[in-house]
């Protein structure tokens, strides 16, 4: 694994717009694996490349559906993602971030999104997501444009231990 570490606010790198990915070579594949390892070790449910100091439009997510008993985690790699459709409905909920340690905030997000992206091999994919997964996608994709959840939060605060247990990046 390369020597990446999660960078934290107020590092100015987090405010940069990431560059589009054009190469899906061996080094790119290694970066994807590194991102999953860093995210799991943190632990978090999502990680965007800018969070480890890499200016590329890449998001990795590992999500377990809370409504399915004994559900296995699903992994997603979103390269050059864009939201092409979203619900009218929004929900405000608690979010945290590996790049903003020790704080959480209430953020309003669309309840459902359709994301068009490339997978880790460059193939175009469309993913429909709702509820928590839609929130994760929106949060991580914001990182690609230099936006942090604290920019959108109606309030930001130190969580109680119970709140902290509910939240992962």
The rounded distance, in Å, linking the Cα atoms of 23 and 68 is: 36
The rounded distance, in Å, linking the Cα atoms of 167 and 53 is: 23
- The two tokens of residue 60 are 């990795």
Which SS3 state, helix, strand or coil, does residue 52 take?
helix
Catalytic residue, from 62, 140, 155, 163: name it: 140
The rounded distance, in Å, linking the Cα atoms of 68 and 25 is: 36
Is 140 annotated as catalytic?
yes
Rg (CA), the chain: 15
Catalytic positions, please? 140
């Amino acid at each position: 694994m390369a020597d990446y570490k999660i960078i934290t606010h107020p590092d100015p790198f987090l405010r940069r717009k990431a560059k589009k990915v054009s190469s899906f070579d061996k080094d790119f594949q290694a970066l994807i694996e590194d991102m999953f390892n860093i995210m799991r070790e943190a632990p978090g449910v999502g990680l965007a490349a800018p969070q480890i100091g890499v200016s590329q439009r890449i998001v990795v997510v590992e999500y377990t559906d809370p409504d399915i008993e004994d559900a296995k985690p699903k992994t997603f790699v979103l390269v050059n993602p864009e939201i092409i459709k979203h619900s009218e409905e929004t929900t405000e909920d608690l979010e945290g971030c590996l790049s903003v340690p020790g704080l959480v905030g209430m953020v309003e997000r669309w309840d459902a999104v359709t994301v068009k992206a490339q997978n880790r091999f460059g193939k175009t994919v469309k993913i429909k997501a709702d509820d928590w997964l839609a929130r994760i996608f929106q949060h991580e994709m914001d990182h690609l444009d230099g936006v942090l959840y604290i920019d959108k939060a109606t309030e930001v605060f130190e969580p109680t231990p119970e709140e902290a247990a509910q939240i992962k990046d």
